[in-house]
Structure 1
């Protein structure tokens, strides 16, 4: 039985929602390569890894579930097509379309073709709620895939309606156990305990004393930094008690560099953007601070690499998905799907497109592993029962949807090479492409 939960909301006037015919996106505006923090499948072989049994076995059966017709299943897709986040998240639409059409080419799901209707939430919580209502009540979709930072806007409504949703885990709400209908490939913002993976990595690179650089404007990055701090301490690395703050508008990088030098740290960690981290690194270098390890949760950004490569040479960062540096068969299937069904995105190996592809694959996994005619409630139970999801090899470790909301144990670590021209994979001491640790005790 579901428990009611209410949240106060200001009543805002509704604004028109951009509507398009289901199943087709209009030709995209200019899509650009992007990397968004923190805070990620395929046909035949890859689909087998995700549980494609019965994709078209006995043909469709009569079904009265919302979104189901004799020959189709209708999904919803939400993202900010306009507004301040449109450029950052624009590539996501191509990843969604590619995964849907890839599944259709493989025979659909239990003999039914996938169709979809989409809405623009402008990156606004109020508009996200309006978009979800429209998709559920007017378009009658079965469930929703979204790539937005405003998912909290429609979360209560979707939960009350028992509508399943998968998406970008850029908000703490994805990790809350109340929302059992929300699925993601990772949880970067969580109230649960940390893992020792980050500390183990830093210790292996020679770090002994760390400074944690925080933001005075971005509490999300600070929450991530808190988990890194716990991980460092668990590995026996001393964390300086000095409070180091970086603000791109007010902070003098040279003064911050002097602070780091005077603190005697050999490790600098945090979750600032790649651009801000480049300024912190420049300040440390200018001050002559002897730092062995610069570690950032958001350092994988080829745009910043192209602009400030020399400055961020040696920077380490980590990801909760397998990057294209270690190209796998799963990546090849992703690239093939992008070329076939979303050729407008160039180059196709963009982070947000891959994460939207992952989110879509998560949603389809619940359909593929369930009966031909699920209810929304039975779908949620089925997907919550999956404890070994790895997107056919696109994730460094399995995701447990049954015990969700915790930090992942496994990550891929990469380093900016000494020339500042590219990223290189950092293998663990045993030669593996991933670093896996243990969960710390809950405090």
Structure 2
């Protein structure tokens, strides 16, 4: 487990004089300003965020850019003076891709007076239960359905939830000509099973048969054989990329190329050199706007990554975007506060935000008063070009659907 690391993220390190901190769980920010009391991690000129993610362990590779994205967003904010005169400082803990490590990391961050936890992991359930009991806000990327059951959690996306689905993916596959779909999803967690259930419901709602689910093996030849034998013309994958590309290759070799192929892990510029030709024509669905749309906020993201996180190259990695969005959501909550915020007033303020989309970086506008635990309705779809060397957006606007019952 990593020890606490604290840094001021901005153009320069600023010396801070810490004030005596005391929490006031049932007071408003303005009341605390009058009394001079502050929540843990809050001083007159700084506020402390604790980052929790897997820097090591079996899942670490897919989270490589998360801390860098957070660093870039906090750096950009601090360069303009911070929020309400406070610079954002941060420390981080490595959960080692392990549930017990995730819980221990959360405990360490609270012990070090993190005002809130900014989290992206695949094993967060225990820590969000603990942080709820401790009254600590959690913002980030929901990886498990429990995020929708706690009032202290705020997520920039919900991709899977018990008993829920949307029409979006099914509509997209139908638009691309798919009629029979095979799912290749590794059931490494309950979340993966929920995702498979939601995808199946979406496809069937669109009139697309789901003819096979191969989830228990990493033998590419075996998976490919079963999928090809099923007659599927569509594959939806939440599995290791080498398995996915192997199945695509095998289908082409068998004279049975897929009409529609979608992978949840294929939007990453690092993949183009080793996998681009194999992935040509493959789709990815995104809960944020594809960088290829070149929106002003996306240009700011790329510039901030170059300035504050130059070690991440290329910068447009999905985990870095998730880090930026998570940090931006933390900042949005701070902007609801005046004077000395408490954790409770922060959560109340953020719960009152009804139209959050990170200045257009996201394709869904989130109403935190009503959308707790609700699946995303809109997705941006990108395709790897025939040349295999770049991504291209599929349509002028992201595709939005409606909620359906997965059962």
TM-score, normalised via structure 2 length: 0.86
User: What is the aligned residue count?
Assistant: 383
Tell me: CA distance 1:303–1:108, structure 2 relative to 1, closer, same or farther (3 Å).
closer
Would you say the 8 A contact 1:91–1:353 is kept in 2? yes
Is 2:267 the partner of 1:300? Answer: yes
Q: Deviations over 1:391-428 (max 9, x none)?
A: 1011112123222212101101011222323221100x
Would you say the 8 A contact 1:216–1:247 is kept in 2? no
Of 374, 383, 401, the residue aligned with 1:437 is 401
Structure 1 moving runs of 4+ over 6 Å: none
Secondary structure, counterpart of 2:52 in structure 1:
strand
Deviation at 1:164, TM superposition (A): 0.3
Deviation at 1:376, TM superposition (A): 1.1
Over the aligned positions, Cα root-mean-square deviation in angstroms equals 2.5
Q: CA separation in 1, counterparts of 2:133 and 2:403?
A: 32
Deviation at 1:257, TM superposition (A): 5.1
**What is the match of residue 30 of structure 1?**
none
Would you say the 8 A contact 1:257–1:286 is kept in 2? no
- Mapping of 1:32-43 within 5 angstroms? none
Q: CA separation in 2, counterparts of 1:191 and 1:173?
A: 10
Of 197, 222, 246, the residue aligned with 1:252 is 222
Is 2:279 the partner of 1:315? Answer: no
Is 2:381 the partner of 1:413? Answer: yes
Q: CA separation in 1, counterparts of 2:61 and 2:183?
A: 30
**What is the match of residue 3 of structure 2?**
18
Q: CA separation in 2, counterparts of 1:112 and 1:412?
A: 35
Deviation at 1:441, TM superposition (A): 4.2
**What is the match of residue 76 of structure 1?**
50
Q: Deviations over 1:9-28 (max 9, x none)?
A: xxxxxxx6423344379xxx
Tell me: CA distance 1:304–1:99, structure 2 relative to 1, closer, same or farther (3 Å).
closer
Secondary structure, counterpart of 1:134 in structure 2:
helix
Tell me: CA distance 1:285–1:359, structure 2 relative to 1, closer, same or farther (3 Å).
same
Which stretches in structure 1 are left out of the alignment for 5+ residues?
A: 1-15, 26-59
Deviation at 1:219, TM superposition (A): 5.3
Q: CA separation in 2, counterparts of 1:213 and 1:119?
A: 32
- Mapping of 1:380-395 within 5 angstroms? 380-395=347-362
Secondary structure, counterpart of 1:212 in structure 2:
strand
Would you say the 8 A contact 2:233–2:257 is kept in 1? yes
Is 2:126 the partner of 1:162? Answer: no
Is 2:261 the partner of 1:291? Answer: no
- Mapping of 1:16-415 within 5 angstroms? 17-23=2-8, 62-137=36-111, 139-174=112-147, 176-177=148-149, 179-215=150-186, 220-240=191-211, 242-245=212-215, 247-249=217-219, 251-252=221-222, 255-256=225-226, 258-260=228-230, 263=231, 265-289=232-256, 291-402=258-369, 403-415=371-383
Tell me: CA distance 1:173–1:345, structure 2 relative to 1, closer, same or farther (3 Å).
same
Q: CA separation in 2, counterparts of 1:209 and 1:296?
A: 16
Tell me: CA distance 1:290–1:357, structure 2 relative to 1, closer, same or farther (3 Å).
closer
Deviation at 1:218, TM superposition (A): 5.9
Secondary structure, counterpart of 1:406 in structure 2:
coil
Q: CA separation in 1, counterparts of 2:301 and 2:188?
A: 36
Deviation at 1:343, TM superposition (A): 2.3
Would you say the 8 A contact 1:277–1:299 is kept in 2? no
Would you say the 8 A contact 1:145–1:363 is kept in 2? yes
Q: CA separation in 2, counterparts of 1:368 and 1:269?
A: 40
Tell me: CA distance 1:215–1:145, structure 2 relative to 1, closer, same or farther (3 Å).
closer
Deviates more, 1:123-132 or 1:315-324: 123-132
Would you say the 8 A contact 1:256–1:284 is kept in 2? no
Which stretches in structure 2 are left out of the alignment for 5+ residues?
A: 11-32
Tell me: CA distance 1:192–1:419, structure 2 relative to 1, closer, same or farther (3 Å).
same
Q: Deviations over 1:265-295 (max 9, x none)?
A: 3322232233321112122222222532122
**What is the match of residue 36 of structure 1?**
none
Deviation at 1:244, TM superposition (A): 4.1
Tell me: CA distance 1:215–1:69, structure 2 relative to 1, closer, same or farther (3 Å).
closer
